[in-house]
Amino acid sequence: MRTERRTRLIAWLTCFSLVISLSAGIMVADNAHAQLLGSGKPKGSTDLRNKAHSLTSSDLVKVIVQLRAPMSSSLNSLLNSNGVHVRKSFNSLGAHLVEMPASLFDTVAAFQEVAFVSYDRPTQSMGHLSATTGADAVRPSNGPATGLDGAGIGIAILDSGIYKDHTDFLDKGNNVRVVYSQDFTGENRTDDPYGHGTHVAAIAAGGGRVSNSSYLGIAPAANLINLRVLNSQGSGMISNTLAALDWIMANKATYNIRVVNMSLGTPAIDSYKNDPVCRAVRQLVNAGVVVVVAAGNNGKNAAGQKAYGMIHSPGNEPAALTVGAVNTFGTDARNDDGVASYSSRGPTRSYWTDSLGVKHYDHLMKPDLVAPGNKILEAKSVNNLLAAQNSQLSANVSPVAVRDQMYLSGTSMASPVVAGAAALLLQANPNLTPNMVKAILMYTAQPLSGFNMFEQGAGELNIEGAVRLARLFRTDLGTTKPVGAPLLTTSLLPTPQSTIGGTTFTWSQGILLGRHWAKGPSLITRYQPDYALGTIISDGTIISNGVLISDGVVISDGVLISDGVVVSDGVIAGDGAIVSDNIIISGGVTISDGLIFMNFGTIVADGVLISDGTVVADGVLISDGTIVADGTVISDVYVQAQSAMVNGDLVTTSNAVVDDGADCLSY
């Protein structure tokens, strides 16, 4: 008997040891996989790695070196050796701009503390408002209980500068609301010789003194922080943007910067997990700052056909609030609104490459929502390049430079509309986290008929509904918010409808979750862990038995989930199929091996999209060996063409309200 017991004990211990060994092996494998996903091994951009292994590998290149740990003495010595120079350090972001021979790529990437190495790529700007967005419905003139104007909120504008002498940037006491300016381009100026940044800033927070408030911004009393990252030609580098974001991390409390607007971008090549600007955006969001970015203006190819998978960086970052453009056709009513043809569509096509050379695409549903962005009339900076080269952009509202206005179109204009809306929500309820702001804006958005979620996200911005819902969110949840706790101050749910410009519509009542769509009242009645700081809506969200799970934490039950795409009017394409222009693609976002699609008889082969002789690869339109962006031919480097802001649409001043010279202070 004793011998039998001993035999059983030995057998049990052997099995137990085997289970522990296997479990440990699984944990090690999982950790290794997690590290692979986090670092995107090999630890560098494909184009940079190819350059490092080419015949011209001795050429000097400027790269962004991201660190996951403090720099070792060995790496420090290398970065300060002959032929290598640290040009800038972004201390709050744990990154550095380094100039070095391309041949050193493998050496630098091999250091354990190095997370990722990528090119310092060029960036470029992307190119009746308050009435049609619902902002007028929450103005002070409509009663003290609802009056919101963005007062006390700081909005940082990363752009080509701000012409701060413009009348639109004065408060009612004639004080300039551009409270801080800094240049990151090296041109040592903070005004706006290009003309883009001033227009963007006025959309977000223009005071509306001119022409009896005809050109009123969304948050007309908000403070503006002018961070100039685009030069006199409207272009810049990733390092300029990183320097500005690094400054915000260090100074956000001083100026109460709660919102950042980035109407600029660069091709989304590297996965958001590795892209330095995406990672910086995520840090800011985790620190409590709403970051709003333009989706891009590449919604159609050179032949004028719809193009998918063209979201720019940092619009491919899950933490960012990515905005596409709506054409309102000049009316306040919402029943004729549609997504602008040039507005970039999802899914995101950024990727990381594993050690076998296989590309793993992010494939996230973007944009998050859309907002008016076509033929927007707002402040014009004096003697700006855009207006000088495109005379049709000048509205000729006033002969006085500090009061004149101009037209621009693009997702660049839609993004600050949402940035201003975020400022209003934070004024209404200062305790909202960035993820709460994002969820509220999506939940209350208006789904536009005839457009799928890769085009419009949750739908068109609805400020009236968003503010109404934001006021109902509790402010006493504290820092340790219990999962599933009541989120509203009332048990009576708000009516999920709004009326703007005479059009009554129903809210989307849902939010995007990366590759999925969640819909249901639990999203606003129960506290979701994804709403807290340090977590990202849509990043790593799993669905199991109808329950949302993110990072192992149950969000809530009672929420309907679909792995398809909402086409229009709440209709979901069945069996995970995407329906667009009568073309059905099965499998949700991808076709078998990760290839995305374009319409109109497009051929899909070997990861490259081909349509009428135009090749689309890695987010860049190529035709006959020349890069094409919105019909403008560019050579050697990709930039967002100026025509992207004009969009080939020669605007007129027929609907411009001429200024009588009297200041309007009654908004």
* 124-136 pLDDT per residue, tens: 655 466 777 878 7
More confident residue, 59 or 13: 59
Per the structure, the count of domains in the chain is: 3
Alpha carbons 215 and 619: distance in angstroms, whole number: 35
Q: Mean pLDDT check: name the lowest of 36-45, 185-194, 198-207.
A: 36-45
Q: How confident is the model at residue 30 (pLDDT cuts 50, 70, 90)?
A: very low
- Confidence (pLDDT) at 569: 56
Look at 140 and 306; give whichever has higher pLDDT: 306
At 527, the pLDDT band (50, 70, 90 cuts) reads confident
* Least reliable range by pLDDT among 101-105, 212-216, 390-394, 586-590: 586-590
In this prediction, residue 634 has a pLDDT band, given cuts at 50, 70 and 90, of very low
Q: Domain check: are 557 and 434 in the same one?
A: yes
Is the pLDDT assigned to residue 2 strictly greater than 70? no
**Residue at which a domain ends, from 70, 102, 120:** 120
Q: Find the mean pLDDT for residues 280-301.
A: 95
- CATH number (domain holding residue 58): 3.30.70.80
pLDDT for the residue 561: 57
Angle between helix 463-470 and 411-428 (nearest 10): 30
Contact present, 299 and 340 (Cβ < 8 Å): yes
Query: For residue 466, what pLDDT is reported?
Result: 96
Same domain, residue pair 7 and 111: no
Is residue 647 within 8 Å of residue 376, measured between CB atoms?
Answer: no
Structural domain harbouring 11: 1-39
pLDDT score at 467: 96
Q: What are phi and psi of 111, to 5 degrees?
A: -65, 135
- Average pLDDT on 641-658 reads 42
Q: What is the pLDDT of residue 537?
A: 66
Q: Residue 573's pLDDT is what?
A: 52
Residue 132 and residue 113 in one domain: no
Report for 176-190, 350-364, 572-586, 617-631: range of highest mean pLDDT: 176-190
- pLDDT category of residue 14 using cuts at 50, 70 and 90: very low
Helix, coil or strand: residue 147: coil
- Residue pair 92/250 in contact (Cβ under 8 Å)? The answer is yes
- Domain end (from 57, 89, 120): 120
Q: Final residue of a domain: which of 562, 587, 610?
A: 562
**Does 595 map to a domain?**
no
In this structure, is residue 632 part of a structural domain?
A: no
Residue 476 domain-assigned (yes or no): yes
The answer to the question of residue 19 being in a domain is yes
pLDDT at 57 over 60: yes
Mean pLDDT to the nearest integer, 159-187? 96
pLDDT of amino acid 56: 85
- Confidence grade of residue 143 (pLDDT, cut at 50, 70, 90): very low
Sheet of strand 95-101, all strands in order from the earlier edge strand to the far edge: 85-90, 95-101, 60-67, 114-119
| 577 Cβ contact partners less than 8 Å away, ≥ 6 residues apart | 564, 584, 585, 586, 587, 588
Task: Please report which confidence band the pLDDT of residue 484 belongs to, taking 50, 70 and 90 as the band edges.
Answer: confident
Pair 494, 507 in one domain: yes
pLDDT of amino acid 579 = 43
In terms of phi and psi (left: phi > 0; alpha: psi -120 to 50; beta: otherwise), the region of 432 is: beta
411 and 476 co-located in one domain: yes
| pLDDT tier for residue 213 given thresholds of 50, 70 and 90 | confident
Average pLDDT of the segment spanning 454-471? 95
Instruction: Give the model's confidence band at 475: pLDDT under 50 very low, under 70 low, under 90 confident, else very high.
Output: confident
| pLDDT for residue 555 is more than 70 | no
Does residue 667 belong to any structural domain of this protein? no
Res 656: pLDDT = 82
Which domain CATH number covers 208? 3.40.50.200
**150 found inside a domain:** yes
- Residue range 138-162: average pLDDT? 82
Residue 70 has pLDDT above 60, yes or no: yes
**How does residue 212 score in pLDDT terms, banded at 50, 70 and 90?**
confident
Task: List, in order, residues 6 or more apart from 71 with CB less than 8 Å away.
Answer: 79, 113
Indicate if 341 and 473 belong to the same structural domain: yes
- In terms of domains, do 551 and 496 share one? yes
- Is residue 505 predicted with pLDDT exceeding 50? yes
Q: Is residue 333 pLDDT above 90, yes or no?
A: no
Structure-model confidence comparison of residues 43 and 480, the more confident one = 43
Same domain? 33 vs 180:
no
Average pLDDT, the chain: 78
Tell me the mean pLDDT in the region 452-468: 95
For the four alpha carbons of 205, 214, 129 and 665, in that order, the dihedral sign comes to: positive
Residue 577 lies in a domain: no
Predicted local distance difference test score (pLDDT) of residue 564? 57
pLDDT over 70 (residue 382): yes
Tell me what percent of the residues of the chain surpass a pLDDT of 70.
73
pLDDT at 214: 84
* 51 and 35 fall within a common domain: no
Distant-in-sequence, close-in-space partners of 514: CB < 8 Å, separation ≥ 6: 318, 364, 365, 538, 539, 540, 541
Rounded mean pLDDT of 199-205?
96
Mean per-residue pLDDT for 471-487? 79
- The radius of gyration of the chain's CA atoms, rounded to the nearest angstrom, is 25
pLDDT for the residue numbered 186: 96
Task: Please indicate, yes or no, whether residues 491 and 507 belong to a single structural domain of this protein.
Answer: yes
φ and ψ at residue 605, rounded to 5 degrees: -150, 135
pLDDT of residue 511: 92
**CA distance linking residue 584 with residue 599, whole number of Å:** 10
| Model confidence band, residue 18 (pLDDT cutoffs 50, 70, 90) | very low
Looking at residue 415, its pLDDT comes to 97
Q: Residue 227 — very low, low, confident or very high, per pLDDT cuts 50/70/90?
A: very high
> Do 369 and 517 belong together in one domain?
yes
User: What pLDDT is attached to residue 342?
Assistant: 93
**Is there a domain that residue 167 lies in?**
yes
Categorize the per-residue pLDDT at 301 as very low, low, confident or very high, splitting at 50, 70 and 90: confident
- Residue 376 and residue 252 share a domain: yes
In whole angstroms, give the CA distance from residue 569 to residue 144: 35
